[in-house]
Amino acid sequence: MKYQLIYEPEARQDLFDLYWYIAQGGHPERAFAYIARLEAYCDSLAVFPSRGNQVNDVREGLRRVGFERLVSVAFSVVGDTVRILRILYGGRQFSEQDAEGK
């Protein structure tokens, strides 16, 4: 079964901010390639969404999965839908607001 995948606006903004952070170092091509890999990884959650760790102490049903040791993806699975809530870079900690997509 393939799940519907939705990126919350905050997650899209996280991707945009991460692109600019990397590109400002003088490597826009690397930034584009990194974001493309990250998006492909997130998109793969539509096929196998049970990955990662549950973070129920922050929010019931919240899951977290790492990407290339520097990024954490916060998402939830409800019914047949995977919602990418936040994409956090560089060890940022999850908060209740992150879990709610705020």
> Which residue type is seen at 64?
R
What are the tens digits of pLDDT across the range 3-40?
A: 999 999 999 999 999 999 999 988 899 999 999 999 99
Q: What is the C-alpha to C-alpha distance for residues 7 and 43, in angstroms, rounded to an integer?
A: 9
Asked if residue 18 lies in contact with residue 35, where contact means CB atoms within 8 angstroms, the answer is: yes
In the chain the domains, ranked by start, together with CATH numbers, are 4-99 (3.30.2310.20)
pTM, entire model: 0.84
Residue 58's SS3 state is coil
Q: What is the C-alpha to C-alpha distance for residues 36 and 40, in angstroms, rounded to an integer?
A: 6
Compute CA distances 24 → 21, 29, 41, 92, whole Å: 6, 11, 23, 20
What are the tens digits of pLDDT across the range 38-93?
A: 999 999 999 999 888 888 777 888 999 999 988 999 999 999 999 999 999 875 55
Asked if residue 86 lies in contact with residue 80, where contact means CB atoms within 8 angstroms, the answer is: no
